Structure 1
Amino acid sequence: MMGDTGLLIYHLYIHPMDIQDLKKDLWNDDPVSGSLTINKKKYDIDIVYRGSHIRKLQKKSYHISFYKPSLYKGSKEIHLNAEYKDPSLIRNKLSLDFFSDIGVLSPQSRHVFLHLNGRKEGVYLELESVDEKFLAKRNLPNGSIFYAVDGDANFSLLSDLDKETKKSLELGYEKKCGEDKDDIYLQEMIFKINTLLKEEFEKQIVHYLDVEKYLRWLAGVIFTQNYDGFVHNYALYRNGETGIFEMIPWDYDATWGRDVNGRTMSEDYVRIQGFNTLSARLLSVDGFRKRYQNILKEILNNQYTVEYMKPKVEHLHSLIKPWVAKDPYEKDNMERFEREPSFIYRFIELRSEYLRSRLYKLD
């Protein structure tokens, strides 16, 4: 069913006893059965809570797998994000769309309004799953996809968690799709990143990584200022035809001037060079560093302006506004919701000014 303002309405049903099972152990990844009705069509599903710290929040986020029928609009699974700590409820979508605009492979997303067992659960962001169906929709070659699931996905030989040498170079990743041999390709790239001498690194890294797309991804993290984005909040796709890896962003609600708890984040919190071992190695190469500087300048002059972003913010804000007022978790925060577009515009201005003042560091 489509809402009167263009928002799709999802009717989710989970047996009350299964809801109690989910609540008993927030960290249990074993799904329960349920049904999801969209536009009067019923889908039998498996459903489980998703996320890490967000599982503890009052408004839950969900991972949904379709099994009868097995696909919904070409997808075998979707994610419903509550966006509970983002007072605008639009930062995640705004970020993922921004990545697409600057030439980075990025999942699609849209806002929906969710009912659970007949009760209003509120505004959610439906996120496309990054898997083999994601590739098929874009006519991309089959390949492997690895999710970065914790801080060990830092492209280093050392653990980001305990600073010890990693027992395996696959630590920090969960393979979403691919073959056993693809694990070796990931390990080989990480090993090369850390052991090649500078001259060899410049020549060889292009055989493992799409450097241009990585630098554009890095720019996207820098502009949105996602502090977790360097060792988390991404997926790696290895093109099965070229053998080259590229980055895909994921979970970008803590952006545009707010952190994971919705608190204000200063515009100078994340440095222009970013973090992680791979970024450091790439930016140590004169040619790559200069290319990154030019990418930043290009985006600063085009997509990263209030003039460019304002229509996008206004569209999303006005689209969900009537539904935020019906959201039981958000309806008492409408004044704060109304202020968020101006907050985002101000952050863009301040962040842009800060980054322009630091471009010289990439000379």
Structure 2
Amino acid sequence: MLKYEILINPKWLRKLDNDIWNDELVPAILKIGENRINIKVAYRGNVIRDKKKKSYRIVFQKPFKINGAHEIHLNAEFSDVSLSRNKLSLDFFDRIGVISPHSQHVLLYINGYNKGIYLEIESFDQYLLKKRNLPDGPIIYATNNRANFSLLTKKKEIKKRLDQGYTIKYGEKEDIDDLRNFIAMINALNNEDFAKEIPKVLDVEKYLRWVAGAVCVQNYDGFIHNYALYKNGETGLYEISPWDYDGTWGRNLHGRKLDYDYVPLTGYNTLSARLFHFPQFRNLYNEILTSILENDFTLDVQKPIIDGLFETLKPHISLDPYIKTTADTLEQEKKVYFNFIKNRNAYLKKELTSFFKVKSI
């Protein structure tokens, strides 16, 4: 496991600690092996900022890019005794053909103090697009649960702006205007026009693949939060990518167990609800999810992946001062994941059968 060490002037560390909700970056040095990299660093995340083990955003300054990336995230995974749910989820999306950030575990030190095992995750930005040889295009983050593709909030209140819940990561002001038009179109078009026009602005196949992935790993809030919209510069179509998937594989974001049938087959947001009204989109979703349930989200496929990841963590897990995990804990957690996969797979296959008995209005 790679060792990362952040060297930071105590005054800048105090600045971070005096206001943990401040997103302002401060200067520091990141040591990786013999390399010393000038960086800027800040705390990141929402719930995690109140925890003893915090997550970090790191932006490279000199050199400007490392391995093609200008920015990375170091996630604490504080509520995950296996430190694995996020990585397993992102790797799963990558496997099923959804653009997904790559990740790796690292051991982090700050000014010589051991801060534990972190998950380094790529930032979804223009540099990731370039690394993947993907067309340039705007990227917009869904930063809270108002990013539900609706005119209403989760509490059924009318939104003040159609772009509530979104933050532009890469692009221009006009790209937010385009997003507003997209959301207005989802909500305002009649059924005939929606079916005709939606494939002109959304890569429906890739969107439904993303829904299927979130449904399989059962990320409760992933349908209205924790995703990035990317508008492919060649096709002009919106695509979608996951991030922050720690509340998955049978547990919620606090680490508590969830029943395998907690999230419905279709997930939930306004865009999905409209798409599933039409037989052609329901049939496409059926094909995608059926294939994933046969070839990707199975115990035979996922067991060796989970076994391999846990084996790489075992020699280092005791080094994390914040997460009281042992080799035995990992073995117990494996059983949770294996049971979840088996039961969730069977549940989704059963639900698919009844899903297609319901006729569109």
User: Is the structural similarity TM-score above 0.5?
Assistant: yes
Kept after mapping to 1: 8 A contact 2:82/2:325 = no
Q: 2:249 aligns with which of 245, 252, 256?
A: 256
Q: Which amino acid aligns with 2:263?
A: V
CA distance in 2, matches of 1:243, 1:352: 34
Q: Following TM superposition, where does structure 1 have runs of at least 4 consecutive aligned residues deviating by more than 6 angstroms?
A: none
1:136-167: per-residue Cα shift (whole Å, max 9, x none)?
0111111100000011110001122x422222
Q: 1:287 aligns with which of 280, 286, 291?
A: 280
1:11 offset after TM fit, Å? 1.1
Which region of structure 1 is more displaced relative to structure 2, 17-26 or 55-64? 17-26
CA distance in 2, matches of 1:163, 1:43: 47
The alignment status of 1:153 with 2:153, answered yes or no, reads no
Aligned counterparts, 1:286-305, within 5 A: 286-305=279-298
Kept after mapping to 2: 8 A contact 1:66/1:77 = yes
1:22 corresponds to:
16
1:360 offset after TM fit, Å? 2.3
Unaligned runs of 5+ in 2: 357-361
CA distance in 2, matches of 1:15, 1:256: 39
Q: 1:34 aligns with which of 25, 28, 32?
A: 28
Aligned sequence identity (%)? 50
CA distance in 1, matches of 2:198, 2:40: 41
1:3 corresponds to:
none
Q: Which amino acid aligns with 1:95?
A: S
CA distance in 2, matches of 1:216, 1:241: 20
CA distance in 1, matches of 2:350, 2:2: 43
CA distance in 2, matches of 1:355, 1:143: 34
The alignment status of 1:207 with 2:196, answered yes or no, reads no
Q: 1:278 aligns with which of 258, 267, 271?
A: 271
The alignment status of 1:337 with 2:337, answered yes or no, reads no
Q: Which amino acid aligns with 1:26?
A: I
Q: 1:354 aligns with which of 341, 347, 354?
A: 347
1:109 corresponds to:
103
The alignment status of 1:123 with 2:117, answered yes or no, reads yes
Q: Which amino acid aligns with 2:216?
A: F
Q: 1:326 aligns with which of 306, 319, 338?
A: 319
2:166 corresponds to:
173
Kept after mapping to 1: 8 A contact 2:86/2:246 = yes
Unaligned runs of 5+ in 1: 1-6
CA distance in 1, matches of 2:53, 2:326: 14
Kept after mapping to 2: 8 A contact 1:290/1:362 = no
Find the residue that maps to 2:178 and give its secondary structure. helix
Kept after mapping to 2: 8 A contact 1:313/1:341 = yes
2:359 corresponds to:
none
CA RMSD for the aligned pairs? 1.2
Q: Which amino acid aligns with 1:35?
A: I
Q: 1:83 aligns with which of 74, 77, 82?
A: 77
2:42 corresponds to:
48
Aligned counterparts, 1:190-229, within 5 A: 190-229=183-222
CA distance in 2, matches of 1:118, 1:341: 33
Kept after mapping to 1: 8 A contact 2:214/2:222 = yes
